[in-house]
Amino acid sequence: MTIFVKNAWYVAAWSREIDDQLRRYTILNEHIVMFRKSDGSVAALEDRCPHRLLPLSKGKRIGDTVQCGYHGLTFDGTTGKCTRVPGQTNLPASAYVVSYRTEEKHGIVWIWMGDPDRADPARIFDMPEFTDPNWAVHLGDALHLESNYLNVAENLVDPAHISFVHPTTLGSAASENVPVHVKTDGEAIVAWRWIRDAEPVGFFKAFGGFTGNVDRWHYYYLYTPCTAVIDFGSIEVEKNCAEEDRNQGVRIFALHFITPVTETYTIDRWAHIRNSALEDPDAVERMDAAFRLAFAEDKEILEAVQAEENRPQKRRPIRIAIDKAPLVYRKRINDLLELERTEDLAGDLSPAFVYHD
Amino acid sequence: MTIFVKNAWYVAAWSREIDDQLRRYTILNEHIVMFRKSDGSVAALEDRCPHRLLPLSKGKRIGDTVQCGYHGLTFDGTTGKCTRVPGQTNLPASAYVVSYRTEEKHGIVWIWMGDPDRADPARIFDMPEFTDPNWAVHLGDALHLESNYLNVAENLVDPAHISFVHPTTLGSAASENVPVHVKTDGEAIVAWRWIRDAEPVGFFKAFGGFTGNVDRWHYYYLYTPCTAVIDFGSIEVEKNCAEEDRNQGVRIFALHFITPVTETYTIDRWAHIRNSALEDPDAVERMDAAFRLAFAEDKEILEAVQAEENRPQKRRPIRIAIDKAPLVYRKRINDLLELERTEDLAGDLSPAFVYHD
Amino acid sequence: MTIFVKNAWYVAAWSREIDDQLRRYTILNEHIVMFRKSDGSVAALEDRCPHRLLPLSKGKRIGDTVQCGYHGLTFDGTTGKCTRVPGQTNLPASAYVVSYRTEEKHGIVWIWMGDPDRADPARIFDMPEFTDPNWAVHLGDALHLESNYLNVAENLVDPAHISFVHPTTLGSAASENVPVHVKTDGEAIVAWRWIRDAEPVGFFKAFGGFTGNVDRWHYYYLYTPCTAVIDFGSIEVEKNCAEEDRNQGVRIFALHFITPVTETYTIDRWAHIRNSALEDPDAVERMDAAFRLAFAEDKEILEAVQAEENRPQKRRPIRIAIDKAPLVYRKRINDLLELERTEDLAGDLSPAFVYHD
């Protein structure tokens, strides 16, 4: 049984990855060939000729069409319909490849993997800081993980792991027993906690320049199925910062766009948006380096977990107090999968983005 | 369900590969140990001791017998019968390995994988040019392909792929829309076309020395299950060459002996026979180089197709006008498999070679 | 169906391998984390947190407990019970990992993989030479084999393979037809033969310093399920050595402690105990080198056999006169497996060590 929600916008690539070359991507276990058409928009076609199954990405782009590299069948980059079969003049209706709808926003290519009639670009993830001059946006790396996407997503709404997985980078032992709050806020699952009057953690020592104790916060927003925003920051204890005044501290949004590749392989494209060091020419490079270090720690954990999940299970895993947000997430995904598995003529629970600040 | 026709002669090796050493080959998913016996003939035995299953190729040749490297059981190279069990004097009837019949002709070792009573050496592939002094024969490489043999064979009765897979080596865009003729001629499936008054292709530019336009032909003969002969050549347009006068042009037979190794692995041993440049000392080397380039193009396509075939299929692949010859081939193979799957007390449809010039 | 006998002591490691670090071992297809506790005894826990399944060996040791590297759940090294769940105060009963009983004797860590109530340290393998000053003990390497443990064990009660697998190291052609005696002696299966008045074999040429012919013996003791003792030696023909006087010759016990890792992977930790060259400072090194050479010969055979066993079988393998001891061993293992598969309220056939000299 599939574990993928299909009626959703997924990040297919950063815009900068896509040019006029034919490039293969794998999303929800589907091979897709993408290229930039002459009007600048992104073509995304099933990467398999319906004739002999050669990937179209092995063929060549001819204008806005793709010609198969085996026998020359040619497909329209927008509709996927066959426009030429060498050796015959008729073009049978079943000579087509699936065409996927794409959208670009803020340098990100989104793809809709499900029923095209339900694709609504207005539901693509957005947040005002993308275009606010007080904030600096940077699209980072594509982190490849040998892990199913559900564990990757759950890890991103799980503040409790910070103290143990990232003790010297993003967290510290000071937070081990600080309780985590969880709520749902429309489509978002939010888990958060404040650690008050504690030594700044490695990341903010390196980046924020704090010397004395700080108040620091983590807010994890997880938008079903695959977008996570981690709002974290630090501020001097003396400022006695209220929840709504986080912009007065050093505040960073770490964005994670999770793309399920196969059932056990996931790409996490991460970005960050910050309100500090806007003029610092090295800030992006230093911050990327810090994130790479921390995310490598997640990768090691998640891949070891996947290796265990691949083995036969003898007992049901246990769930504990800190799993509240992951449990809500897993339930939402299961509800969506059930909705897609059947045809509900009444309801609609398709994922959407609602941003709460 | 097996996809291999067993009652057929397959090429096991070039004769030059076989000496007095024990060598393992895999044919129709059977491991076989081969070596040359003292009378010069080729022994081919099941490569697995019936005792502890050690491959006999890990043991040693003692005269015309093979001694297992684990406990010394010894088997006759001709019959496969056990001739010695150390530690006991009786030789039970079930102490044997399967022995396969082999034949050598024109430097090629053929093996019969099915019912020994039906093995008829007269049905081994032959063509008069092998021994005609006006022709030069060269046995080339063993091309290894991660592809099932059916796709390899179909590719060799498929003139239509030339323009797209080999645009700069064996073909050119000029032939894209030239129709392909197909007929059956006894046991052969024949697909052919003439491209009249066109620029010579890469291969004949390099090899035939043509400067002006040529008429060129491709005749693909596919003999079920696994032998293909591609008769191709070029001749000056001015000569207005008739079909039966191809010997007046530069004519090359490219022979392909396809050996199914496993369901997804195939060896294509190729050879060529030519009527030109017989005195040219570099001709073989240059021709081999050109073929290697072209066959590497096929390999890339066929292996990419296999990778797609290994994935779950969502739709039936489509078939088009140019697939006529492959479809006949696939039907013939299916008929042979059905014949071997049951015991038909009336008919006989075993493969045979009938050469038509 | 499992092929592992669980109610038995297995060698988990040499004692020298275990220190205060968390180390992962796989035994009977179970992942186990081991470390030395503050009282010097060896902790052995299921290497998988019951929460998110992260291996505990990815976490850290805190005193005699292990803290999971994902969310900090902490487990007692002796009982396996959870002692801490960060973020909550209650410790549910199902928050535990399996704890395995271990024992150390003569520098060897033994582990009991089955019902803890049946673990009796008195049944751990022993022999008086371990502590006898006339004998020198050396614990050698851990030989890794891509082979199931049954074939490894059978190979160790099989004198007949020596002539063919180790013709230049442990055996020679002189023994090919010398009959093998087999008996059971309590829990031991014993296979043995004497080769009288023969040239000394490579091992004893190199090690024993013999020049003339010798009488040599091989006694193979196999204790179900996984301990083998090979008593072998050589003595001058002139001494006309009786069976019970083997200590007068150059006598070596080669011990093999077989640890099934997975169904197709086995570790053979070998040791040797000798009555000669006790003062020779190089003896251990030279003997190890000779054993490594010989055991590499076994490894090549056993792995090739495994590769064949992994393939579909067409015929039942045959068994011959020399297989008597292996057949008794296989029957005993099957009896034990059957005993563990069901609950026999009457009998007890658990493995035990009884040493017969």
User: Which tokens go with A254?
Assistant: 């770490």
- SS3 for C31-64, per residue? EEEEEECCCCCEEEEECCCCCCCCCHHHCEEECC
Contact A70 B164 (CB under 8 A): yes
What whole-number percentage of chain C has pLDDT above 70?
94
Q: Which chains touch A (3 or more CB pairs under 8 A)?
A: B, C
> Domain for residue A355, yes or no?
no
* Total domains present in chain B: 2
pLDDT exceeds 80 at position C348: no
Question: Which residues in chain A are closer than 8 Å to B309, comparing Cβ atoms?
Answer: 53
CB B153 within 8 A of CB B133: no
User: Which tokens go with A266?
Assistant: 């996931």
CB B91 within 8 A of CB B85: yes
> Domain for residue C1, yes or no?
no
Q: Residue C320 is nearest to which of B51, B59, B69, comparing CB atoms?
A: B51
Top mean pLDDT of A103-107, B90-94, C197-201 is at A103-107
pLDDT exceeds 90 at position A53: yes
Contact C52 A317 (CB under 8 A): yes
Q: What does DSSP assign to residue B240?
A: -
CB A124 within 8 A of CB A102: no
With bands split at pLDDT 50, 70 and 90, how would you rate the model's confidence at A179?
confident
| pLDDT recorded at residue C90 | 92
pLDDT exceeds 50 at position A352: no
The secondary element (H helix, E strand) that includes residue B256 is strand B250-262
CATH of the domain at B86: 2.102.10.10
Indicate whether B206 and B141 sit together in one domain.
yes
| pLDDT recorded at residue C347 | 52
What whole-number percentage of chain C has pLDDT above 90?
78
The residue-averaged pLDDT of B302-315 equals 95
Indicate whether C301 and C159 sit together in one domain.
yes
Q: Which chains touch B (3 or more CB pairs under 8 A)?
A: A, C
Mutation target to probe the B interface, by most B beta carbons within 10 A, among C161, C264, C297, C320 is C320
Q: Which of A62, A91, A118 is the last residue of a domain?
A: A118
Contact C58 A304 (CB under 8 A): yes
Whole-angstrom Cα distance, residue C174 to residue C195? 8
Q: In Å, how far is C196's CA from the nearest CA of chain A?
A: 53
Chain C positions with Cβ closer than 8 Å to B? 151, 160-161, 163-165, 176-177, 179-180, 300-301, 304-305, 308-309, 315, 317-322
Mean pLDDT of chain B: 92
pLDDT exceeds 70 at position A349: no
CB A145 within 8 A of CB A268: yes
pLDDT exceeds 70 at position A356: no
CATH of the domain at A212: 3.90.380.10
Model confidence pLDDT, tens digit, residues B204-237: 887 778 889 999 999 999 999 999 999 999 999 9
User: Which tokens go with B225?
Assistant: 């299950």
Indicate whether B307 and B256 sit together in one domain.
yes
Contacts of A331 (CB under 8 A, 6+ apart): none
| pLDDT recorded at residue B333 | 96
Contact A68 B164 (CB under 8 A): yes
Q: How long is chain C?
A: 357
Q: Which of B84, B118, B152 is the last residue of a domain?
A: B118
| pLDDT recorded at residue A353 | 45
| pLDDT recorded at residue C26 | 98
Model confidence pLDDT, tens digit, residues C10-47: 999 999 999 999 999 999 999 999 999 999 999 999 99
> Domain for residue C346, yes or no?
no
Residue C267: is it exposed, middle or buried by C-beta count within 10 angstroms (0-12/13-18/19+)? buried
| pLDDT recorded at residue B346 | 55
Mean pLDDT of chain A: 92
pLDDT exceeds 80 at position B173: no
Contact A164 C70 (CB under 8 A): yes
Indicate whether C94 and C25 sit together in one domain.
yes
Model confidence pLDDT, tens digit, residues A296-326: 999 999 999 999 999 998 899 999 999 999 9
Model confidence pLDDT, tens digit, residues A58-69: 999 999 999 999
A-C C-beta contacts closer than 8 Å: 70
Q: In Å, how far is B216's CA from the nearest CA of chain A?
A: 18
Q: Residue A87 is nearest to which of B308, B318, B320, comparing CB atoms?
A: B320
Whole-angstrom Cα distance, residue B286 to residue B292? 10
Contacts of B184 (CB under 8 A, 6+ apart): B190, B328
Model confidence pLDDT, tens digit, residues B243-262: 999 999 999 999 999 999 99
Model confidence pLDDT, tens digit, residues B139-166: 999 999 999 999 999 999 998 898 899 9
Contact C176 B86 (CB under 8 A): yes
What whole-number percentage of chain B has pLDDT above 90?
78
ipTM: 0.91
How many angstroms separate the Cα of A16 from the Cα of each of A34, A107, A144?
13, 7, 18
3-state secondary structure of C324: helix
Indicate whether B102 and B147 sit together in one domain.
no
Q: Which of B97, B118, B139 is the last residue of a domain?
A: B118
Q: Residue A70 is nearest to which of B161, B318, B321, comparing CB atoms?
A: B161
The residue-averaged pLDDT of C89-93 equals 92
Contact A69 B301 (CB under 8 A): yes
Give the number of other CB atoms < 10 A from CB of residue B207: 20
CB A136 within 8 A of CB A278: yes
Indicate whether C90 and C165 sit together in one domain.
no
Whole-angstrom Cα distance, residue B265 to residue B142? 13
DSSP for A7-40, written as a single string: SSEEEEEEGGG-SSS-EEEEETTEEEEEEE-TTS
Model confidence pLDDT, tens digit, residues A203-251: 788 777 888 999 999 999 999 999 999 999 999 999 999 999 999 999 9
The residue-averaged pLDDT of B296-309 equals 98
Model confidence pLDDT, tens digit, residues B311-356: 998 899 999 999 999 999 999 999 999 989 876 565 555 544 444 4
**pLDDT top residue among C345 and B357:** C345
Contact B71 C318 (CB under 8 A): no
**pLDDT top residue among B170 and C340:** C340
**pLDDT top residue among A89 and C144:** C144
Dihedral, CA atoms, C271, C276, C278, C284, nearest 10 degrees? -40
Question: Which residues in chain B are closer than 8 Å to C300, comparing Cβ atoms?
Answer: 58
Contact B321 A87 (CB under 8 A): yes
Where is average pLDDT lowest: A78-82, C164-168, C320-324? Answer: C164-168
Whole-angstrom Cα distance, residue A143 to residue B64? 60
With bands split at pLDDT 50, 70 and 90, how would you rate the model's confidence at A346?
low
How many angstroms separate the Cα of B325 from the Cα of each of A90, A95, B147, B198, C82?
19, 20, 19, 25, 69
Whole-angstrom Cα distance, residue C328 to residue C334? 10
| Type of residue at B83 | T
With bands split at pLDDT 50, 70 and 90, how would you rate the model's confidence at A354?
very low
> Domain for residue A103, yes or no?
yes
Quick one: residue B6, left, alpha or beta (phi over 0 = left, psi -120 to 50 = alpha)?
alpha
> Domain for residue C354, yes or no?
no
Indicate whether B59 and B174 sit together in one domain.
no
Indicate whether B160 and B54 sit together in one domain.
no
Whole-angstrom Cα distance, residue B268 to residue B153? 9
Query: Which residues are bridge partners to B44 per DSSP?
Result: B34
Query: Which residues are bridge partners to A261 per DSSP?
Result: none
Model confidence pLDDT, tens digit, residues C204-236: 887 778 889 999 999 999 999 999 999 999 999
> Domain for residue C250, yes or no?
yes
Contact C320 B87 (CB under 8 A): yes
Q: Residue C318 is nearest to which of B67, B86, B95, comparing CB atoms?
A: B95
> Domain for residue B351, yes or no?
no
Q: Residue B69 is nearest to which of C164, C317, C322, comparing CB atoms?
A: C164
Contact A53 B163 (CB under 8 A): no
Where is average pLDDT lowest: B35-39, B170-174, B274-278? Answer: B170-174
| pLDDT recorded at residue A168 | 78
Q: In Å, how far is B174's CA from the nearest CA of chain C?
A: 49
Nearest residue of A to residue C53 by CA position?
Answer: A305
| pLDDT recorded at residue A345 | 59
Indicate whether B217 and B318 sit together in one domain.
yes
Query: Which residues are bridge partners to B233 per DSSP?
Result: B217, B251
| pLDDT recorded at residue B352 | 46
CB A31 within 8 A of CB A46: yes
The residue-averaged pLDDT of A115-138 equals 96
Nearest residue of B to residue A82 by CA position?
Answer: B318
Mutation target to probe the C interface, by most C beta carbons within 10 A, among A172, A313, A320, A322 is A320
The residue-averaged pLDDT of B281-305 equals 94
Nearest residue of C to residue B29 by CA position?
Answer: C311
Indicate whether C92 and C157 sit together in one domain.
no
Indicate whether A134 and A165 sit together in one domain.
yes
Question: Which residues in chain A are closer than 8 Å to B304, comparing Cβ atoms?
Answer: 54-55, 58
Range of the domain at C18: 9-118
> Domain for residue C104, yes or no?
yes
- Comparing C-alpha atoms, which of B220, B319, B188, B219 is closest to residue A87? B319
Indicate whether B90 and B30 sit together in one domain.
yes
Mutation target to probe the C interface, by most C beta carbons within 10 A, among A151, A298, A309, A318 is A318
The residue-averaged pLDDT of C249-254 equals 95
With bands split at pLDDT 50, 70 and 90, how would you rate the model's confidence at B49?
very high
Contact A308 C55 (CB under 8 A): yes
